[in-house]
Amino acid sequence: MAKKSGTVYYKQNRLKQLRAFCMTAKTGSISLAAEALFQSQPTVTLQIQALEREMKITVFERRGPNISLTPEGVVLLQIAQPLVDGIEGLEENFHAHYGRLDHGEINIAAGESTILYIMPQFIKKFAETYPGIQIKLHNVTGRDGMAMLRADEADLAIGSMLEVPDDIIYRPSLFYSSTLIAPEKHPLSKKKKITLDNIAQYGLILPPRHLATWRMLEMVFGQHGSKFHVSLEAGGWEIIKK
């Protein structure tokens, strides 16, 4: 893939900064904005700080856990929100003006669990709306899905991301919470409230190390000064549940 120009890189970063700023202003919380954007809290904080530094303004007043817009932030929000909304609604607006697509194909890269449990209802709806479009599903890992996008072998990839690369446009579509699964007779199954320290006492069964689950656990346990250990790596959530 050819290296992108500095101008394109700058514009992509500015869009991410404005999206982080607008979502934080909307939710009134950096942590809630990070959750809505499927990013880590430090990432959102850095994006807002970069925006303030590059524009030489302060957009939020920070008083403990609470934040509020500064007068400069209010003006910027009035300008930025329509721009962000316009980008988010670009696809829908295009189809509304261009009309219905009658033929062609779409290549979608996704992991096995996503294909099995999340996509069927959306695939069904898409097929009914665009009967002339052939759908090709590629069962790949998130890393391979990114490679397919960059090689123009996939039109879109579906999966979880902790950090969004600068050359990728990422739109959150589903929210879910990670769940701890244990046998009925496991000591943790008797606890009403389970802490990270409780979990750290037992070996975990996780998907392969290169998947996002590992990074998420490392980030969460690291933030709380705790560590986890893995007893078994297994490919596929069905295998893990067994």
209 in any annotated domain: yes
User: 204 is in which domain, residue-wise?
Assistant: 187-241
Average pLDDT over residues 45-58: 93
Tens of pLDDT, residue by residue over 11-48, are: 567 888 999 999 999 999 888 888 888 888 888 999 99
Average pLDDT over residues 107-126: 89
Q: What is the largest CA-CA distance in the chain?
A: 59
Same structural domain, 86 and 12: yes
Q: What is the model's pLDDT at position 7?
A: 44
Q: What is the model's pLDDT at position 98?
A: 58
Q: How many domains does the structure of the chain reveal?
A: 3
DSSP 117: I
Tens of pLDDT, residue by residue over 151-174, are: 989 999 998 776 777 777 778 777
Task: Give yes or no for residue 65 having a pLDDT over 60.
Answer: yes
Q: What is the 3-state secondary structure (H, E, C) of 190-239?
A: HCCCCCHHHHHCCEEEECCCCCHHHHHHHHHHHHCCCCCEEEEECCCHHH
174 in any annotated domain: no
Interior angle at CA 23, CA 220 and CA 143, nearest 5: 50
Q: What is the model's pLDDT at position 4?
A: 45
The residue type of 169 is I
176 in any annotated domain: no
175 in any annotated domain: no
Rounded to an integer, what distance in angstroms lies between the CA atom of residue 202 and that of residue 232? 12
Return the SS3 of 139. strand
Residue 108's nearest CA partner among 141, 140, 137, 151 is 137
Task: Give yes or no for residue 60 having a pLDDT over 90.
Answer: yes
Task: Give yes or no for residue 134 having a pLDDT over 70.
Answer: yes
Return the bridge partners of 86, or none: none
Q: What is the model's pLDDT at position 224?
A: 85
Pairing of strands 229-233, 156-158: unpaired
Rounded to an integer, what distance in angstroms lies between the CA atom of residue 123 and that of residue 54? 42
181 in any annotated domain: no
The pLDDT-based confidence of 97 (bands split at 50, 70, 90) is low
Q: What is the model's pLDDT at position 23?
A: 92
Share of the chain above pLDDT 90, in %: 25
172 in any annotated domain: no
Rounded to an integer, what distance in angstroms lies between the CA atom of residue 55 and that of residue 23? 18
Cα–Cα distances in angstroms (integers) from residue 197 to residues 185, 222, 225, in the given order = 19, 12, 10
Average pLDDT over residues 186-207: 88
Write the CATH number for 144.
3.40.190.10
H-state helical runs in the chain? 6-27, 30-37, 41-55, 71-88, 90-98, 112-113, 119-129, 142-150, 196-200, 212-223, 237-241
Q: What is the model's pLDDT at position 18?
A: 92
28 in any annotated domain: yes
Q: In this predicted model, which residue has the larger pLDDT, 175 or 46?
A: 46
- Cα Rg, the chain, nearest whole Å: 21
Whose structure tokens read 């962000």? 84
Same structural domain, 87 and 105: no
Query: Which pair of structure tokens corresponds to residue 103?
Result: 């033929």
Query: Which pair of structure tokens corresponds to residue 229?
Result: 């250990």
